Amino acid sequence: MLRTNEHRSCCCDAYLDGDGYDPNEEERAGNVRIVSTAEPGWSMTYRVQCAACGREFIVKQIDGPALQWKWVPRGVKRKSGQR
């Protein structure tokens, strides 16, 4: 079983460093699953889950000269060090 609290590395780590990953394309490629989306528009958010490790992300689509996507991991559970 995969344990999300011992996250090491996964293909989804790349999303954290880049802002050019379209969640729709990633889903089409089978890398992620779009759990839900906000109201469709130029600036909207997606809730996305990695198909490999199950990590969830909030993806903010940012309108600009080119569309960008900010991927923020969500629901990262830590057993210790909680504040």
**Interface with Zn ion by CB under 5 A: which residues?**
10, 12, 50, 52-53, 55
Nearer to Zn ion, 12 or 59 (CB): 12
CA distance 82 to 62: 31
Closest by CA to 19, choosing from 73, 76, 59, is 59
| Least separation in angstroms between CB 43 and Zn ion | 25
| Least separation in angstroms between CB 25 and Zn ion | 16
| Least separation in angstroms between CB 64 and Zn ion | 26
